[in-house]
Amino acid sequence: MRGIALALGGSPYEFEGERAGDAFWVMRLIGYPELRNDIGCGAHTDYGLLTLVNQDDDINALQVRNLSGEWISAPPVPGTFVCNIGDMLKIYSNGLYESTLHQVINSSPKYRVCVAYFYETNFDTAVEPLDICKQKTGGAKKFERAVYGEHLVSKVQTNFV
């Protein structure tokens, strides 16, 4: 996160203290039964700052939607993690970073396991575009302020109910 803060033109500590000094992180171990096109992980964006996904090296199941609206594969690259930008980083960066829509369909003949680490802001943090990011994107904020915990609860309720 310090590298991302620097890349955005800020101090390395933009995502610490009241923003993410007490990060509401979650690690999830997810199993996907083989040969199932009907269950998996439906299309969604991740909620927080940054997600690191460690997936099986030999199963191609994760897909991301590109700007043309097509689903494209994100095949595993052994020894690497997939990094997803979350909704909070999209807001902080005023859209310089996109929280990409993705889904998981395991139509392979093998059970797939993924370990996903979600690095989030503090639960109660009110997230709004950083000044440095507004300056780089024309001056105006493109997204309204969102309280991370409220966003999380509303996404979980709409995703899982």
Ligand X SMILES: O=C(O)CCC(=O)C(=O)O
Residues that bind ligand X (CB under 6 A): 28, 30, 41, 46, 53, 55, 62, 102, 104, 114, 116
Question: Shortest Cβ distance from residue 56 to ligand X (Å)?
Answer: 9
Residue 31, CA distances (Å) to 57, 65, 109, 153 in order = 14, 22, 14, 23
Single-letter amino acid code for the residue at 105 = I
What residue ranges in 5-67 does DSSP mark as E strands?
26-32, 36-44, 50-55, 62-65
Work out which of 15, 24, 46, 85 binds Fe ion, going by CB under 5 A: 46
Question: Shortest Cβ distance from residue 95 to ligand X (Å)?
Answer: 21
Q: In this complex, which beta carbon is closest to Fe ion, that of residue 46 or of residue 87?
A: 46
- H/E element, 146: strand 146-147
Question: Shortest Cβ distance from residue 62 to ligand X (Å)?
Answer: 4
